[in-house]
């Protein structure tokens, strides 16, 4: 881990304000400032007559769909987006027929039925689905763990600051794109404690053994900081098209997030929304092979809200 430079701080400020994100806190009636969305969660283009959000209440005759296991990374009305461990994103509809269950207690035998507003972003879930024609998938059953839900609820409701998600920037994004999680106001709201870079091979999103060790080391040190959050940003070198590099940078960021959460034990609720910045903000010249190697990276930034620093 190393101290982050002033120039990197301004880059991170841009990331928080403008970059596309993968996940967000779910929209809840009690707190519209936390409403989130994903641009991928839209009705199909060829079904404009369909009233968005009207999911059938009877799904008994629908064919069985795939099981989707992963983390809730975005929500829009009656749709949630699930990001699987390999970085794949899958949109799933939720309706009256969707059974939402939590399990916990001794031997995991205590089970509870929950409402759809319990589907907070960042929650690990197991989803059984049915096929809904061209409209995609409907969740017939969603399972989550009680301890994960309690932790998410405690963090989201336990502080008035809400990590700056109530700011004017969130309100503006909500009117334009209904905002994704992680478009937190201004980086000046945070103290940047440290940053760690892990590098990748050309065109790849595979973590090396060295990178894996560095990620868990960073997570371990951040665990020792009260109220620490992680912001993960992916980058590429200048090789390839902008579109390809954008997808590759997002895939690298997603791979790092999954490893931090699933292997290093970092809680999803302490993760700001990861994003990809393609070839923006190079740390070295792309004119040389060594420079490109430095630019093929994911930055893991350790932040603490100024309102909570030292508490």
In the structure encoding, which two tokens stand for residue 309, read together?
């620093």
Dist. CA 291–CA 217, nearest whole Å: 25
180 has pLDDT over 60: no
Q: What share of residues in the chain are helix, strand, coil (percent, to 5)?
A: 30, 25, 45
Q: In the structure, what pLDDT confidence band is assigned to residue 155 with cuts at 50, 70 and 90?
A: low
- Please choose, from the candidates 55, 56, 135, 45, the residue with its C-alpha nearest in 3D space to the C-alpha of residue 91: 135
Query: What stretches of the chain adopt beta strand conformation (E)?
Result: 68-76, 79-83, 89-93, 99-104, 110-113, 124-131, 137-145, 190-199, 228-234, 275-276, 297-305
CATH code of 6-20+184-305, in short, is 3.30.1330.60
Dist. CA 147–CA 166, nearest whole Å: 26
The pLDDT of residue 208 is: 96
Residue 117, Ramachandran bin (φ over 0: left; ψ between -120 and 50: alpha; else beta): alpha
Which CATH architecture group holds 32-173? Beta Barrel (2.40)
52 has pLDDT over 70: no
14 has pLDDT over 80: no
Q: In what order do the strands lie in the sheet with 275-276?
A: 190-199, 297-305, 228-234, 275-276
Residue 310, Ramachandran bin (φ over 0: left; ψ between -120 and 50: alpha; else beta): left
pLDDT in tens, 211-248: 999 999 999 999 988 888 999 999 999 999 999 999 99
The pLDDT of residue 248 is: 96
- Please choose, from the candidates 233, 217, 297, the residue with its C-alpha nearest in 3D space to the C-alpha of residue 13: 233
Q: Could you give the residue range(s) of every CATH 3.30.1330.60 domain in the chain?
A: 6-20+184-305
Residue 240: DSSP 8-state:
S
The pLDDT of residue 171 is: 58
Q: Could you give the residue range(s) of every CATH 2.40.50.140 domain in the chain?
A: 32-173
């Amino acid at each position: 881990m190393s101290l982050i430079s002033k120039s990197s701080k301004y880059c991170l400020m841009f990331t928080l304000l403008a970059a596309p994100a993968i996940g967000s806190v779910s929209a809840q009636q009690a707190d519209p400032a936390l409403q989130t969305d994903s641009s991928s969660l839209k009705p199909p283009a060829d079904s404009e007559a369909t009233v968005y959000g009207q999911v059938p209440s009877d799904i008994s005759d629908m064919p069985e769909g795939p099981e989707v296991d992963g983390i809730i990374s975005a929500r829009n009305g009656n749709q949630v987006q699930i990001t699987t461990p390999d970085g794949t994103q899958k949109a799933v509809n939720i309706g009256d027929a969707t059974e939402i269950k939590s399990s916990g207690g001794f031997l995991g035998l205590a089970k509870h039925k929950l409402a759809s507003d319990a589907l907070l972003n960042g929650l690990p879930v197991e989803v059984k689905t049915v096929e809904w024609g061209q409209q995609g998938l409907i969740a017939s059953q969603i399972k989550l763990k009680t301890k994960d839900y309690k932790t998410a609820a405690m963090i989201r409701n336990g502080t008035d600051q809400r990590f700056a998600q109530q700011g004017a920037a969130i309100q503006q994004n909500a009117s334009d794109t209904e905002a994704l999680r992680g478009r937190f106001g201004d980086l000046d709201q945070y103290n940047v404690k440290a940053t760690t870079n892990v590098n990748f091979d050309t065109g790849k999103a595979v973590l090396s053994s060295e990178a894996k060790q560095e990620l868990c080391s960073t997570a371990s040190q951040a665990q020792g900081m009260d109220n620490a959050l992680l912001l993960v940003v992916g980058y590429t070198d200048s090789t390839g098209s902008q579109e390809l590099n954008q997808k590759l940078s997002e895939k690298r960021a997603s791979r790092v997030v999954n490893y931090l959460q699933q292997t290093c034990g970092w809680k999803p609720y302490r993760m700001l929304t990861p994003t990809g910045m393609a070839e923006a903000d190079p740390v070295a010249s792309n004119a040389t092979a060594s420079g490109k190697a430095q630019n093929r990276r994911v930055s893991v930034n350790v932040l603490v809200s100024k309102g909570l620093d030292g508490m």
